[in-house]
């Protein structure tokens, strides 16, 4: 069955990892919401440049394919299996939202584009709120 685009990564990630990512996002929002405008703006720029898991998997798969073709052409034809595997993994990820690299990358803290956008939106919303008296 083809997974929905929106939740496919979270659905294929263990709950404790999703919860840790959510906790870290909430902690970031709480921390940066209490900072001055320049610090918040710098964080927003960092979020704009953060690689989401889709982009990382695409780059990783392309690297595997290019490396496999180069090794197959120069070293041994058996290396040509690597681009085939890379393509299969990418297709599997596109269809069901899981591939062998996903658990490792999620464990390392790589987030979906929606998770990054949620932190960004929360920080923008927090900037709109009036300052709390000390």
Question: What pLDDT is attached to residue 2?
Answer: 83
Question: What pLDDT is attached to residue 5?
Answer: 81
In this predicted structure, the answer to whether residue 77 has a pLDDT above a threshold of 70 is yes
In this predicted structure, the answer to whether residue 134 has a pLDDT above a threshold of 70 is no
The residues near 72 (Cβ < 8 Å, ≥ 6 apart) are: 78, 79, 80, 82, 83
In the DSSP assignment, the letter for residue 129 is S
pLDDT (mean) for 9-30: 97
In this predicted structure, the answer to whether residue 131 has a pLDDT above a threshold of 80 is no
Matching residue, tokens 């405008």: 37
Query: What's the pTM value of the predicted model, to 2 decimals?
Result: 0.89
Q: Where are the beta strands (DSSP E) in 1-134?
A: none
The residues near 48 (Cβ < 8 Å, ≥ 6 apart) are: 120
Residue 129: pLDDT band (50, 70, 90) is confident
Percent of the chain past pLDDT 90, that is, above it, reads 88
In this predicted structure, the answer to whether residue 132 has a pLDDT above a threshold of 70 is no
In this predicted structure, the answer to whether residue 133 has a pLDDT above a threshold of 70 is no
Question: What are φ and ψ of residue 41, in 5° steps?
Answer: -60, -40
């Amino acid at each position: 069955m083809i997974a929905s685009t929106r939740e496919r990564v979270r659905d294929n990630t263990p709950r404790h990892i999703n919860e840790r990512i959510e906790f870290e996002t909430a902690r970031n929002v709480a921390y940066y919401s209490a900072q001055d405008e320049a610090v918040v703006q710098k964080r927003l720029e960092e979020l704009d440049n953060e690689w989401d898991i889709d982009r990382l998997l695409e780059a990783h798969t392309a690297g595997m394919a290019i490396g496999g073709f180069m090794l197959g052409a120069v070293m041994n034809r058996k290396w040509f299996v690597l681009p085939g595997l890379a393509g299969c993994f990418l297709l599997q990820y596109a269809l069901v939202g899981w591939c062998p690299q996903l658990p490792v990358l999620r464990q390392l803290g790589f987030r979906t584009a929606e998770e990054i956008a949620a932190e960004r939106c929360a920080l923008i919303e927090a900037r709109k709120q009036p300052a709390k008296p000390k």
